[in-house]
């Protein structure tokens, strides 16, 4: 059975990705730092016939990530797909000259270093897969093409850096498929109720990369299953 770990999978896009992958027959690990919410999300997948397990995981904490990889190894002997979805926007992220070092550091800790940290911890388990895949959930706000518009600069910088992590990982792991995804503006707690896309639409390219895209597709930034500029 194919296995997948989705971080930040207790709500929003991550939860929908986990649900869809379970429906496709994956054994899905619901990664979340909130034990109650993560456990509930895993239970709901199970009630609908999917196979899922909650994995306590705080991507901003090295010891938590290390413990999670050990716990995973007790339940599965390999990992086929890692979806680095966990991300934050910190209150006060509204102007590049106003951002405190602390705010930017906190944002980078989760959105950029978190993805690298989890990939590093699970790389040996991914290497045991016949077709290992890493999907980093990024944002169009991280694109350098076209320039910034001033919105949430700390968040956008963290996603630009995440795209850099994607490119570096793709070079370092030639047998892996490693890509970044822009899910679009999605109706979640982060995206808000006015967003133009449903969580199902936001999850689509991520699930496609996890289950159906060619393994040769790597080191790219995608939206709606198509490559977009960095």
- In angstroms, the CA 180 to CA 209 distance is 10
pLDDT for 184: 82
Please check whether residue 141 is in contact with residue 228, taking contact to mean a CB–CB distance below 8 angstroms.
no
For the question of residue 27 being annotated catalytic, the response is no
- In angstroms, the CA 61 to CA 159 distance is 19
- In angstroms, the CA 148 to CA 142 distance is 8
Q: Which of 29, 155, 176, 221 is catalytic?
A: 155
List domains and CATH numbers for the chain: 3-227 (3.40.50.720)
Q: What's the whole-model pTM score?
A: 0.96
pLDDT tens for the 230 residues of the chain, in order: 999 999 999 999 999 999 999 999 999 999 999 999 999 999 999 999 999 999 999 999 999 999 999 999 999 999 999 999 999 999 999 999 999 999 999 999 999 999 999 999 999 999 999 999 999 999 999 999 998 999 999 999 999 999 999 999 999 999 999 999 999 866 777 667 776 788 889 999 999 999 999 999 999 999 999 999 99
């Amino acid at each position: 059975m194919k296995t997948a770990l989705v971080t930040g999978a207790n709500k929003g896009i991550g939860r929908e990705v986990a649900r869809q992958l379970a429906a496709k027959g994956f054994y899905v690990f619901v990664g979340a730092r909130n034990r109650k919410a993560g456990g509930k999300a895993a239970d709901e997948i199970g009630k609908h016939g999917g196979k899922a397990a909650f994995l306590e995981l705080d991507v901003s904490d090295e010891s938590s990530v290390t413990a999670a990889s050990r716990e995973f190894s007790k339940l599965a002997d390999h990992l086929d797909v890692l979806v680095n979805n966990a991300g934050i926007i910190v209150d006060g992220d509204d102007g590049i000259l106003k951002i405190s070092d602390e705010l930017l550091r906190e944002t980078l800790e989760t959105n950029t270093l978190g993805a690298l940290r989890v990939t590093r911890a699970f790389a040996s388990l991914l290497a045991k897969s016949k077709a290992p895949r890493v999907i980093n959930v990024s944002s169009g706000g991280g694109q350098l093409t076209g320039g910034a518009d001033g919105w949430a600069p700390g968040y956008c910088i963290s996603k630009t850096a995440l795209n850099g992590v994607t490119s570096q990982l793709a070079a370092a792991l030639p047998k892996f498929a490693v890509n970044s995804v822009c899910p679009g503006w999605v109706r979640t707690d982060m995206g808000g109720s006015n967003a133009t896309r449903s969580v199902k639409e936001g999850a689509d390219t991520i699930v496609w990369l996890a289950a159906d895209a060619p393994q040769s597709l790597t080191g790219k930034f995608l939206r709606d299953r198509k490559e977009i500029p960095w």
